[in-house]
Amino acid sequence: MTKPERPIAKTSDLKVSFEFFPPKSPDMEEQLWQTVRALEPFEPDFVSVTYGAGGTTREPTLSTVKRLIEDTPLATASHLTCVGATREEVQTVVEEFQAAGVRHFVALRGDPQGGVGTRYAPHPGGFANAADLVAGLRDMGDFEISVSAYPERHPESESDSVDLDMLKKKVDAGATRALTQFFFDNDIFERYLDRVRAAGITIPIVPGIMPIQNLTQLKRFASMCGATVPAVLDARFEGTEGDAMARAAVAADVAAEQIADLAQRGVNEFHIYTMNRAPLTIAMLERLGIKGRVARMSGAAA
């Protein structure tokens, strides 16, 4: 039987969301808020703020989330992890964020306390995994709950079927959206999405898009995450080593082309890993014909 074709998504109908991380210094804080202001006119579906495993960024994350809610019109989600915490400690965190106005959590297990590559062990009095955390959040309040998904499988998963089974458990527990690990091969994502749908999982599976700020650093990070970086990207960036503007142009082209191709395959939602930097994200969006609110208004008045 021929697989039904997905309708092509129009660029004008694309939805984007942005991920930020809490700043670790005054300079990084200034950079974050410059980025927020620069991206705000693009009217993202929501923005999210990361949360360190074991609550290592609890206060900075809460402070960032509060300011986003109080000082911007952006729908704001907070990441939440359960590594190294009891159920009671997680509930306290949830209540703090709920009091600040958070109604959307990105529920993640979090990296093992020993770091990426070490063995994960649930806290004796905590949530066993992300699916358990989602179920706990459902008991605590009427939240929107996003979870993670892995087109190339989580590094700790024994097989694709085990990985898919964990996603299904998270959905059965009450997850309403899945945000994927970044990837660069859209065929891998499409095959993954086919498996997800065949398993009866119907929630939105939103591709995570990573504009390439630094290819060498990205390769190191990808190797820890289990994500592949195609050799074609080396060829795309060849000759740009000493030219920051040329590198940025190639990076924006690569990210825009990836989104445009996914839109051709029927995908219309994208989660952008901004790395707290606006220029590359803006260049990518503009290549797709997505303009910020101020630009649209000034254009309409002209």
Element (H, E) at 15: strand 15-20
| Separation CA 211–CA 258 (nearest Å) | 10
User: Which one-letter DSSP state was computed for residue 40?
Assistant: G
Beta bridge mates, 184: none
Mutual angle of helices 244-264 and 279-287, in 10-degree steps: 50
* Cβ neighbours for 204, distance < 8 A, ≥ 6 positions apart: 177, 178, 269
| Separation CA 6–CA 210 (nearest Å) | 24
Residue type at position 93: V
Please identify which residue in the block is written with the tokens 């898009």: 209
| Separation CA 58–CA 32 (nearest Å) | 17
Residues noted as catalytic: 19
